[in-house]
A = this chain, B = another copy of it.
Amino acid sequence: ATDSERLWQSLMEMARPGATPKGGVNRQALTDLDRQARDLFIEWCRAEGCSIRVDSIGNIFARRPGTDPNAAVVMTGSHLDTQPTGGKFDGCYGVMAGLEVIRTLNRHDIQTRAPLEVVAWTNEEGCRFAPCMMGSGVFTGQLSEHEMLHQTDTDGVSVADALDAIGYRGSDQVEREGIKAYFECHIEQGPILEDRETTIGVVIGALGQKWFDLTLTGQEAHAGPTPMSLRKDALLGAAEITQAINTIAMRHPPHGRGTVGVLQLHPGSRNVIPGQVKMTIDMRHFDAETLAQMAEELQQAVTDSCQRHGLSAELTPAADFAPEHFAESCVSAVRQAAERLGTSHLDIVSGAGHDAIFMGRIAPAGMIFVPCENGISHNEIENAAATDLHTGCNVLLYAMLEQAGL
């Protein structure tokens, strides 16, 4: 089995570049802090005898050869970049767990038939450069390499220039065909495992996502002299639609999600009736048809509210990801590994996007979730128990061995 202490130590060391006073990590993609983390990762992989390749979008592939030169590779990985208010585990855990698998095999002198490869994907978080999951998106052909290299941050720096600046614009051609399996360990980023007192989430797939931008326009007017009956208060529409989104998601349990995360009022003055509201809508479901129906219900709610409050609306799609159903081969490899280890587990659907989801489009993929404290992530107080992280890493080891063969 893997070494709990060594895994924890690696996580703590990897949390240093960009460490924040509150115990979190602020290491945004393609910054010099990201370079430090990448350099460290490569140093550790080289020490384990791995060969390193870096592709044109900066994804790092560390390979441990197998005994059969014709065997298809078994991959694992995640990302080293963080949110501005990130924690120590989101992403980093998946990369360190992969490294720990290789270290364990090296210490025990175990050869696998298939080669193993640990990947650190570029810019999963998408904070500095949109969109998220950029590296895996380009690798899997889901995102255009050309377009992604031209994306810029708020200072106008392009991805291409940022890669050059930190020396990670690679030239290795890494083949995307013939991948046997891709696994990814990740903290759950949600409350379900903790709520059910379960250590391992066997991730069977991921929710589809439909994101929208909505602008509601009424008439701004003075809050005092304008009678209630003569108002066109855009916020009243927004309030109704926010509640409708919640109701729609609740109508489609357990996988329905509906969230308004951004809501901006214009002009935003105490004694002025809001003339315009801009808001974002995030809807998710595991079933593509249901998700489409939820979007229709949203459209209807917007129409109804506009009519009731004399508003006009502009509803535009901002993102659209189909639900992902992971390959049975990988899902059962994870489930069986958990059973063999005798650890508590339950099938779970990832509510969030992950690099594994893009990988699932070109190869069998699976994920291993472990609980995180109070389900909190993207927050400096993000935390996870060393024993859970260790158990997840052991599940990864067993699942990879099962796929790679001895």
**Which residues does A use to contact B, with CB under 8 Å?**
85, 188-192, 195, 207, 209, 211, 220-230, 233, 235-236, 238-240, 242-243, 246, 249-250, 253-254, 256-263, 265, 267-274, 280, 282, 284, 318, 350-353, 375-379
Contacts and interface: CB of A to CB of B under 8 A. Distances in A.
Contacts of A256: 228
Q: How many copies does the complex hold?
A: 2
A83 B85 CA distance: 38
Contact of A273 (B192, B239, B261): B261
Given A270-B262, A271-B259, A253 B228 contact: yes
Contacts of A269: 261-262
Contacts of A227: 190-192, 253-254, 257, 351
Contact of A225 (B262, B271, B375): B375
B257 A228 contact: yes
A223 B271 contact: no
A203 to B, nearest CB: 11
B190 A222 contact: yes
Contacts of A240: 239, 243
Given A223-B284, A233-B259, 16 more contacts: A189-B225, A190-B222, A190-B226, A190-B227, A211-B270, A222-B351, A227-B351, A228-B253, A228-B256, A228-B258, A230-B375, A239-B243, A261-B268, A261-B274, A262-B268, A263-B265
A280 B318 CA distance: 30
Pairs of residues from A and B, 9 with the lowest C-beta to C-beta distance, nearest first: A190-B225, A224-B351, A225-B351, A223-B259, A224-B352, A239-B239, A239-B242, A189-B225, A270-B280
Nearest to A246: B236
A262 B268 CA distance: 5
A226 B379 CA distance: 15
Contacts of A249: 228
A154 to B, nearest CB: 15
B261 A230 contact: no
Contacts of A221: 190-191, 375-376
Contacts of A230: 191-192, 195, 375
Contacts of A273: 259, 261
